[in-house]
Amino acid sequence: MHPTHTGRIAPIANLDLVAVVMEKLVNRQDSLPGLAVYYGPSGWGKTTATVAVANRSRAYYVQLRSAWSRKTLLEKILFEMGIKPGGTIPALLDQICEQLAASRRPLILDEFDYCADKHGMIELVRDIYEGSQSSLLLVGEEQLPHKLKRFERFHGRVLSWLPAAAVSLADSRQLAAIYCPDIPLADDLLQHLVALSHGSVRRVSVNLVNVYDTALVEGMDSVDLATWGQRPLYTGEAPRRHGSAA
Amino acid sequence: MKTPLPNRLPAQLEQRGGKSKRQRIWEIIRARQHDISAADLAKDSKVDSATIISYLRALEKGGYLHAHSPASRNGTGKRYRLMRDNGVEAPRLNKSGQPVSQGSGNETLWRTMRILGQFNSRELIQHAASAGIHIADDSANIYLRTLYRAGYLQLLEASRPLGVGKGKTLNRYRLLPGKYSGPRPPMIQRSKCVYDPNLARVVWQEDIRHDDD
């Protein structure tokens, strides 16, 4: 066990960005819109930032599925609120709006892409928003803002568009503290991991775990790019075939 | 001073699963909105009056209730109206009306498990810390181990030693998708059983060890 690692999690750029916007949404003036859209490629730390926001504000978190109907969405939100569902769609909507307004806890809809090409679903989310005047965070892939553009009435209500940020060298240092604790890593190695990752927090993390395991097994006290040498790293691409393999 | 809530019929919000005494009291307060008294609550909630009175006091001090008519000499108690709605959840307050945070550690672990899907205890602790919630290694480990034994978690990677003096890796778990019973974290009770408030039942109990086993 490593009793020393109760320190803070990597405050990666994404996390701060989203937390700041959420704070702004939750404490906004009544007349301002309270919708934010957080989008970016998978692996770019959206989940990490979302978890932090959810925990900080006790937000209701719902991950959408493609098969969901309007009614399913409402029922899932109520499930997350721990409320017995009331029956018809309008009754469910009333319950959700009332709970959001009264509790002042935000609602996070993850994988919102599933919603974004269905007119009825978009209207329903707008109803939730209008009915509660609560803070909503919609999370999705890169194409999400583009998809939402089709729905002008919805698009105009979004206060903040938050693109997920690519992982930086500073982020990688923070991540190293979690995934590769107690083994100092040189900046040239971290720089290399960041370059390989194409912006993905996840790939950097996977490689840090990889470096950590190798360092422990091979007894390295610190690792730089030269020590690491030609050992394989995860690039997110399918592995290349080895020439010598039979 | 906050203004009273608008005059309208609230949508009925009833908590799913098991309800504490305070929760039962709160739901009746929310439904009535005005003209609430300890005697009426006792009649409708079937909760003992000591609990009702102490909760009403805490709610008044916390600004959730306002006493619009004082206790009178002919034996009728204070009458209250709801000033601040908290939604379906009964406000968690101490005697002086301050919010209590006890139990928020498990709630955070449970929420984080649910969003992440796969995790080890260190990752959960770090995620919680990034939201300013500090959870001790032991509490997280015990909670995970108990949830695993109670059938909520699947063990993805068992802990393995890293070499002499290097410690070992942490167990990696997955929250089984069908096992997310709701937003309230399952509770480990003193009698070594797990109570799931979402389902309102004890879902796991440690095997009883007999002396001759």
Which value does ipTM take for this structure? 0.88
B65-69: strand order across its sheet? B36-37, B79-82, B65-69
| Per-residue pLDDT at A7 | 43
Q: pTM of the predicted model, to two decimals?
A: 0.86
Q: Which residue has the tokens 């301002």?
A: A32
- The HSE-up count of residue A150 (CA atoms within 13 Å, CB side) is 11
Token digits for A115?
């919603």
Q: Which residue of B has its CA nearest to A16?
A: B130
Average of per-residue pLDDT values in chain B: 88
Residue B52: pLDDT over 70: yes
**Which of A51, A56, A175 is the best substitution to test chain B (most B C-beta atoms within 10 A)?**
A51
Total CB pairs under 8 A between chain A and B = 122
Residue A138: pLDDT over 70: yes
B162-B166-B170 Cα angle (round to 5): 55
Token digits for A69?
């109907």
The alpha carbon of residue A90 is apart from the nearest alpha carbon of chain B, in Å, by 11
The alpha carbon of residue B73 is apart from the nearest alpha carbon of chain A, in Å, by 36
Q: Which residue of A has its CA nearest to B185?
A: A82
User: Which residues of B fall below an 8 Å CB-CB distance to A?
Assistant: 10-17, 85-89, 107-108, 111-112, 114-116, 122-123, 125-134, 136-137, 162-163, 166-168, 170, 182-184, 198
Chain A neighbors of B182, CB-CB under 8 A: 79-80, 82
| Per-residue pLDDT at A239 | 60
| Per-residue pLDDT at B102 | 72
Place B41 in a pLDDT band, splitting at 50, 70 and 90.
very high
How many CB atoms within 10 Å of residue A117? 12
pLDDT tens, position by position, B66-113 = 998 888 766 678 999 999 999 999 999 999 999 987 768 999 999 999
| Per-residue pLDDT at B146 | 95
What is the distance between the alpha carbons of residues A108 and A135, in angstroms, rounded to a whole number? 9
Q: Which residue of A has its CA nearest to B115?
A: A51
Per the CB < 8 Å rule, is A103 touching B14?
Answer: no
Place B153 in a pLDDT band, splitting at 50, 70 and 90.
very high
Q: Which residue of B has its CA nearest to A110?
A: B115
Q: Give the residue from A27, A48, A74 showing the smallest Cα distance to A202.
A: A48
- Range A142-158 average pLDDT: 87
Chain A neighbors of B107, CB-CB under 8 A: 58
Question: If DSSP codes are grouped into helix, strand and coil, which group holds residue B57?
Answer: helix
Chain B neighbors of A94, CB-CB under 8 A: 11
Question: If DSSP codes are grouped into helix, strand and coil, which group holds residue B67?
Answer: strand
What is the amino acid identity at position A132? S
- The HSE-up count of residue B35 (CA atoms within 13 Å, CB side) is 1
φ/ψ of A46, rounded to 5, equals: -65, -40
| Per-residue pLDDT at A3 | 38
The alpha carbon of residue B21 is apart from the nearest alpha carbon of chain A, in Å, by 17
pLDDT tens, position by position, A57-101 = 899 999 999 999 999 999 999 999 999 999 899 999 999 999 999
pLDDT tens, position by position, B101-137 = 776 899 999 999 999 999 999 889 988 887 888 999 9
Overall residue count recorded for chain A in this entry = 246
Per the CB < 8 Å rule, is A83 touching B13?
Answer: yes
- Range B42-54 average pLDDT: 92
| Per-residue pLDDT at B192 | 83
Cross-chain CB nearest to A79 (options B129, B131, B182): B182
Q: Which residue of B has its CA nearest to A99?
A: B87
Residue A8: pLDDT over 50: no
Residue B207: pLDDT over 50: yes
| Per-residue pLDDT at A4 | 39
Higher pLDDT pick, B58 / B122: B58
What DSSP letter does each residue of A20-62 carry, written as one string? Answer: HHHHHHHT--TTS--EEEEE--TTSSHHHHHHHHHHHHT-EEE
